[in-house]
Chain A
Amino acid sequence: MSPHRHRDFKLDIWGVALVLPLLLVPLFTTSPLLNSLTYQAAIGVSAAMAVYVMLRMGLLSFTVPAFMAFGGYAAAMLAKSGVTTNLLALMAVSFIVPALVAIPLGTLVLRLKGVYFIFITFIFNEILQLILFETPTLTGGSDGISGVPPATLFGIDLGKPALLVVVTVVVCIVATLITLAVTQRWRAEFTSIEENETLAESLGVAVWKYRTIGFVASAGVSGLAGFSLVNMLSTAHPSSFASWSVNSYIAYAFVGGRGTMLGIAVGSLLLIVMTNVFSAYAHLSAGLYGILLLAVMMAAPSGLVGGVVQLVDKFRSRSRPAAAAPVQEKQA
């Protein structure tokens, strides 16, 4: 493994590791604020991971809320209808349903790039919102599906507040591990498509195939985030999956650093904590949030983790001029 790939792999593993301590929060505290922050963080990280998978291929996808809705509503319908409340079954359904929807959708939208791709994926959210509101017999319409029973596992009711948080974090860990598996397994293909699609294709990469793999995985991970949200709120409601919510998930990715999973985790945790801090300032909160985004993006355009990685690279390249000198001389 080259040093570059080795470093990226380590940063991705650190991204997973950063999520793990969230499991401990409900075990050590009953503070509503800390538990609320924990489940917000877990859901935010899961959704941002779905954005990350597509960003690895240079595609900014706005479909995350729509696929969250597919996952969340599918699990809600299954649990509410009494078919099953088994946690593993609900997680599987919430992953598979949006992943299946992503296959035909992907054949249509993955031919597009840049602003066209962004636009069509955003429109998809709006269409789904309309469908959710206009199909009350299936989705509950504007009332949504309320009173969704909490998940169970081996006969244990996971509906207690602390256990709800644990479930949310576990789902987040699973979503993060799936993201790790997909982006590491096809890292070379994904990043090559992002950086130089023509060259990748000329060397034999079937771009449509890897885009589809990424899109399907991103949809599944979104679905898991949607399930977490529904399980936490006991309700599947269209407003939980509003189109604008994707802006937050994208901001998490860009603020933390879109190149590694550590960046995604750092960005999500930071912005979720800061959102709660700013909420104490009521009418100023949106402005403060905006200033924070501006400040970070101006100071570190490649995100916080990306900025640190660049600084380390710069420091290392300065610390080895003696080794590089003979090579440069030879070139000259």
Chain B
Amino acid sequence: MSAASLRVEAAAKQFGGLKVFEGISFEVPAGGIMGVIGPNGAGKTTLINVMAGMLAPSSGRILLGDRDITGMPFHLVSRLGVARSFQQTNTFRSVSVEENLFRAQRFGAAQEGPDLGIHQMLEEFGLAGHLDEPSEKLPYGLQKMLGLIMVLAARPKFLLLDEPAAGLERRERILVDRFVEHARKTIGCGVLVVEHDMELVKRLCPHILVLEAGRLLAEGAPAEVLSRRDVIDAYLGASDD
């Protein structure tokens, strides 16, 4: 096991009598990328919530390296280096893009380290001309990309990306690829991507997990996993034929 990997061990989460997922175990290696796919309601976002400390698991453990971070407060998990993005746009809406970035850097896990290349990303994603604008005035795609850059500005060891391409136009989705490449290149962080866009998952992730109804249905390389009958059935629904 890598000293700085992010491990999920036999994690389960239930709300009252409703089991969201159970028996989930996997490991995101330091600097590695893992994709998590599954139909709606499979428990993907709840898994991210549990890994990020927003929710405590009902059982099982979350380990960052050798450190047990199970049930630690959300902000503390973030400061230890496990940061998440959100499905919907999530910025400090009334303040400028520049102020959003300032806050992310100020609150982040580490204040110093290698150059994050934030300005390069702002240019590349089309945000550089909007630095003084309130983030709520930006188009949806730019707000979404700003949210991703803010997570990176906090210098995490692991990025948990919850449907980073959701709501983006097809031409904008390539920016998510660039963001992930950039994050890995600059700070070498591990990345867990929950996503419905299969093309994006195939491009980015050498290893994927498939969740279905709270169970780990399959795991492996995308080409192999996505050709499995049970995975196709889980996504498209099983046929009687």
Q: Any chain B CB within 8 A of the CB of A138?
A: no
Asked if B129 contacts A188 (CB within 8 A), the reply is no
Q: Any chain A CB within 8 A of the CB of B126?
A: yes
Q: Any chain A CB within 8 A of the CB of B185?
A: no
Alpha-carbon separation in the docked complex, A5 to B92 (Å): 14
Q: Which of B73, B75, B84, B98 contacts A2 (CB 8 A)?
A: B98
The interface residues of chain A lying within 8 Å CB-to-CB of B150 are 203
Closest-CB distance, A209 to chain B (whole angstroms):
9
Known: A5-B99, A206-B75, A330-B129. A200 touches B107 (CB 8 A): yes
Asked if B92 contacts A204 (CB within 8 A), the reply is no
What number of A-B contacts does a CB cutoff of 8 Å give? 82
Alpha-carbon separation in the docked complex, A205 to B102 (Å): 14
Q: Any chain B CB within 8 A of the CB of A3?
A: yes
Q: Give the number of chain A interface residues (Cβ < 8 Å).
A: 24
Asked if B98 contacts A196 (CB within 8 A), the reply is no
Asked if B90 contacts A201 (CB within 8 A), the reply is no
Asked if A204 contacts B78 (CB within 8 A), the reply is yes
Closest-CB distance, A79 to chain B (whole angstroms):
43
Interface mask (B81-104 → A, CB under 8 Å = 1, otherwise 0): 001101000111111101100111
Name the interface residues of B28-55: CB closer than 8 Å to any CB of A: 52, 54
Q: Any chain A CB within 8 A of the CB of B154?
A: yes
Known: A4-B99, A204-B107. A195 touches B132 (CB 8 A): no
Asked if A202 contacts B52 (CB within 8 A), the reply is yes
Q: Give the number of chain B interface residues (Cβ < 8 Å).
A: 36
Closest-CB distance, B234 to chain A (whole angstroms):
30
The interface residues of chain B lying within 8 Å CB-to-CB of A189 are 107
Name the interface residues of A282-312: CB closer than 8 Å to any CB of B: none
Q: Any chain B CB within 8 A of the CB of A192?
A: yes
Q: Any chain B CB within 8 A of the CB of A199?
A: yes
Residue in chain A with minimal CB distance to B104? A203
Name the interface residues of B121-136: CB closer than 8 Å to any CB of A: 126, 129-130, 132
Q: Any chain B CB within 8 A of the CB of A247?
A: no
Alpha-carbon separation in the docked complex, A185 to B43 (Å): 40
Alpha-carbon separation in the docked complex, A3 to B131 (Å): 10
The interface residues of chain B lying within 8 Å CB-to-CB of A5 are 99, 102
The interface residues of chain B lying within 8 Å CB-to-CB of A202 are 52, 54, 74-75, 78, 83-84, 86, 90, 151
Name the interface residues of A170-214: CB closer than 8 Å to any CB of B: 188-189, 191-192, 195-196, 198-207
Alpha-carbon separation in the docked complex, A145 to B73 (Å): 46
Interface mask (B141-183 → A, CB under 8 Å = 1, otherwise 0): 0100000001100100000000000000000000000000000
Q: Any chain A CB within 8 A of the CB of B109?
A: yes
Residue in chain A with minimal CB distance to B52? A202
Interface mask (A308-321 → B, CB under 8 Å = 1, otherwise 0): 00000000000000
- Taking Cβ atoms with an 8 Å cutoff, the residues of A that contact B are 2-5, 188-189, 191-192, 195-196, 198-207, 326-327, 330-331
- Taking Cβ atoms with an 8 Å cutoff, the residues of B that contact A are 52, 54, 73-76, 78-79, 83-84, 86, 90-96, 98-99, 102-104, 106-109, 126, 129-130, 132, 139, 142, 150-151, 154
In order of increasing CB-CB distance, the 8 nearest A-B pairs are: A203-B107, A327-B129, A204-B78, A204-B79, A204-B107, A201-B75, A201-B74, A2-B98
